[in-house]
Structure 1
Amino acid sequence: MGCGKRSLTMAAVALVCAITVLGAPGMASAAPANPTPTPTPPAAPTTKSGKDLEAVREKLDKLYHDAAVATDAYNAAEEKTGKQSTQIVELAKAIVKGQAKLDSLQDRAGAAARAQYRGGGLPPEAQLWLSDSPQEYLDGAGRVRQGEHGTKGLLAEMKRTQQDLAQYTKDASAQWERLEANRKTRAAAKKKIKQRIAAAEKLESQLEKDEKKRLAKLEEDAAYQAQTAWLSSGVLKEINSKASAQGKKAVEYATAQVGLPYVWGAEGPKSFDCSGLTSQAWASAGHPIPRTSQQQWQQLERVDIKDMRPGDLVIYFADASHVGMYIGDGAIVHAPRPGRTVTITGAGSMPILGVVRPDK
């Protein structure tokens, strides 16, 4: 095997090995690009006034919201990385297969050249003069023409195979660059998630026991007021659609997870993040949907709130950073944030961006 053959084959094998390494658990955070500076957590409230605790609540909301946005970025990069890894492996296999084909074609071309050499390489006129039988010459000439056509076809096929190999190598290189970019995006998002959650947990840890209770009450009151305002608009009177068969299965799955912990990046079976819950619920119903809340908002069919039915997904906040599943009677089931569990709450308890429907 020549140097060119060895380099192509070894490159293909190296690609497969590298994919295996990149796909290994825990490798995503190996070398984050442009790491986000560690945020300085706010000082603990110096008094127990309602104003100070309200500021803490707002700060916690901001930190957990930032973590949710980063989680969506991480999940999207994770999904892309998996697809790109598969594509690179397939390209590597194509390179190995193409090289084997080229080797075989080169062997056949060499055999043809050796056969021509053994024939002496005499021109047809000379072979005619030397032949004892004109008919034998004509028969031989026909076979020679056929051989020449076959050799031309063989050379053309070798050229196409070489071009295919070059394109496979180019595509694999481009995919590798995209994979590396996504790996860095995933690592940076992971670091940001951990930073925001750590800052939020540190802030909460600085509160006194009675302050934590009052903070929880503030959060409940804020959600209650938002839900009350939403219901007061009369929207629930217009929502009377029934779930589809698949929507019913998705709701059954999602509500069965109530009480399980929120873990960013998790898709079950023992923990979930918000879009991990909704995507797995619909997968269990036999209808796979996009992984992240932003992808769900962008790619699924949008419906008016008044046409909402159980199984539909309610997308929250202007950046589509949170999602819950509508289960009827003005309620959703969702995985709220770190430190919380899958729960049922009012559909209007957070700012609604819109509603999407996985099944038409």
Structure 2
Amino acid sequence: MGTGKRGLLTAALTAVCAVTVLAAPGTAFAAPTPLPTAASSGSPASPTPPRGKDLEQVREKLDRLYHAAAVATDAYNAAEEKAKKQSAEIVALAKKIVEGQQKLKKLKNQAGASARAQYRTGGLPPTAQFLLSDDPGQFLDGAGLVLQGQQATKKLLGEMARTQKELREYADDASAQWKKLEAGRKAKAAAKKKIEQQIAAAKEFESKLEKEEKERLAKLEEQAALKAQTAWLDTGVLKEADGKASAQGKKAVRFASAQLGKPYVWGAEGPESFDCSGLTSQAWAAAGHPVPRTSQAQWKQLKHVDIKDMRPGDLIIYFDDASHVALYVGDGAIIHAPRPGRTVTVAGAGSMPILGVVRPDA
């Protein structure tokens, strides 16, 4: 086994051990140990790091900033998906317009040939041609063909009119799609700007923390997640959740497991980095069952299942706005891409507020 794979396996096992700890209901949580102050340690006076409630407020503010970035990321991804579809529709319309123009040209050539044939007869009506004919019998034999020719010409002109109408409709549709594409471009640009603003604000906020404060903040985050997971497990929610993964679900879990340790990057869907829905959508694409790109679309379009019925491979949707998604891997654990600055990791399924569970291969 290579050193890279061994490192990922070690990280995964460490995370799974942490989840195993979470599975023990009633775990107690102690407040973080206060850091020594200048007065107690005898060291030179320095700014006192935030402690207790102050640091908890820091954690909550960071959570809000990254949550806002996640919401904006979903909006960006949705705009990106719409842009892809609209571009494909414009290409299809352009192809139809080209084909329609070629068809119209052919019809015009046919109409021109018909007009030239009529010109050669002098443009006389059939009755006059009959009276002036040297061989009326021969004329009568051809009268049926003339009538057929007139009907064909009428049909030809009707087909030309329909083709011209279709071309106008295709052009109108293409124009409408271009307008939608432009609106989508603006929406995507606005979402991108908001993402960058929220992440920049979070990073700037974090940069003001001392090393000790960052360490204590990390412990607070870990404790909050453990507390939420334990409270979730204490409800007995997993007592009946013993569903077995489908063949496709197993493939999705294997794919997600292979991504452990890769960085979170907003808007990314692999292979080197992922955002939350980029990971879940690619996991199920690898399983041979494509799903919507965004967490909100996954929540809206995929089949909902009760938590007690969930099985490995199902997707757990988080927060009231469906702004985060993770892949359930069993035993109360998930694999997910958390947020900027973090990597794809294993966590407790109840470590965040659950909105619901969806099943891609229902």
Match of 1:192 in 2: 194
Q: CA deviation at 1:108?
A: 1.3
CA contact (8 A) 2:49 2:213 kept: no
Q: Map 1:114-125 onto structure 2 (within 5 A).
A: 114-125=116-127
C-alpha displacement of 1:122: 2.0
In the alignment, what sits opposite 2:173?
Answer: 171
Give secondary structure in 1 for the equivalent of 2:166: helix
Q: How much has 1:47 moved relative to structure 2? A: 4.1
Q: Give 1:174 shift.
A: 1.2
SS at 1:99 equivalent: helix
3-state SS, counterpart of residue 238 of structure 1: coil
Equivalent residue, structure 1, for 2:273:
271
Equivalent AA in structure 2 for residue 101 of structure 1: K
Tell me which residue corresponds to 2:332.
330
Which letter maps to 1:64? Y
How many Å apart are 1:141 and its aligned residue? 2.1
Aligned counterparts of 2:169 and 2:128: Cα–Cα separation in 1: 45
The alignment partner of 1:271 has SS state of coil
In structure 2, the partner of 1:348 is 350
Give the match for residue 311 of structure 2: 309
Deviation at 1:125, TM superposition (A): 3.0
Match of 2:149 among 147, 172, 175: 147
SS in 1 for 2:329: strand
Residue 237 of structure 1 aligns to a residue whose secondary structure is coil
Find out whether 1:294 has 2:296 as its counterpart.
yes
Question: Of 90, 95, 98, which residue of structure 1 is paired with 2:97?
Answer: 95
| Secondary structure of 2:316's aligned partner | strand
Offset at residue 239 of structure 1 (A) = 1.3
Q: Select the structure of larger CA radius of gyration.
A: 2
Once superposed, which parts of structure 1, at least 4 consecutive aligned residues long, lie more than 3 Å away? none
Match of 2:59 in 1: 57
Instruction: Provide the rounded CA distance (Å) in 2 between the counterparts of 1:128 and 1:315.
Output: 83
* In 1, Cα distance between equivalents of 2:48 and 2:120: 100
Secondary structure at the aligned position of 1:327 is classed as strand
- Give the aligned length: 316
Q: How far off its partner does 1:46 sit?
A: 7.0
Q: Deviations over 1:165-222 (max 9, x none)?
A: 1111111111111111111111100110000000000100110000000000110010
Q: Which amino acid aligns with 1:138?
A: L
Residue 236 of structure 1 and its aligned partner are, at CA, apart by 2.1
TM-aligned CA deviation for residue 123 of structure 1: 2.7
- Aligned-pair RMSD on alpha carbons? 1.2
2:231 aligns to what?
Answer: 229
* Bigger shift: residues 340-349 or 110-119: 110-119
> In the alignment, which residue of structure 2 is the partner of 1:81?
83
TM-score by length of 2: 0.85
| 1:17 equivalent in structure 2 | none
SS of alignment partner, residue 324 of structure 1 = strand
What CA distance in whole angstroms lies between the structure 2 residues aligned with 1:46 and 1:60?
20
Q: Which amino acid aligns with 1:192?
A: K
Cα distance in 2 between the residues matched to 1:312 and 1:211:
37
Mapped partners of 2:118, 2:231: distance in 1: 91
Q: Distance in 2 between matches of 1:142 and 1:240?
A: 80
Change in 2 beyond 3 A, CA 1:46/1:98: farther
Displacement, 1:144? Answer: 1.6
Please state whether the residue corresponding to 1:93 is helix, strand or coil. helix
Q: TM-score of the superposition, structure 1-length normalised? A: 0.86
Hey, what's the Cα distance between the residues in 2 that align with 1:129 and 1:348? Answer: 97
State yes or no: 1:202 paired with 2:204: yes
> For 1:93 and 1:314, how far apart are their aligned partners in 2?
41
Q: Deviations over 1:196-255 (max 9, x none)?
A: 000000100110000000000110010010011111111222211111111111111101
Residue 335 of structure 2 contacts residue 344 of structure 2 at CA under 8 Å; is this kept in 1? yes
Opposite residue 337 of structure 1, the aligned amino acid is: R
Q: Displacement, 1:136?
A: 1.0
Q: Is the 8 A contact 2:79 2:187 kept in 1?
A: yes
**Aligned residues with identical type, % of pairs:** 73
* DSSP 3-state at the match of 1:142: helix
Alpha-carbon distance in 1 for matches of 2:273, 2:328: 20
Instruction: Report what 2:71 is aligned to.
Output: 69
3-state secondary structure, aligned to 1:236: coil
Give the stretch that moved more between structures: 106-115 or 243-252: 106-115
User: Structure 2 CA distance, aligned partners of 1:251 and 1:122?
Assistant: 81
Distance 1:150 1:234 in 2: 78
2:361 — aligned with what?
359
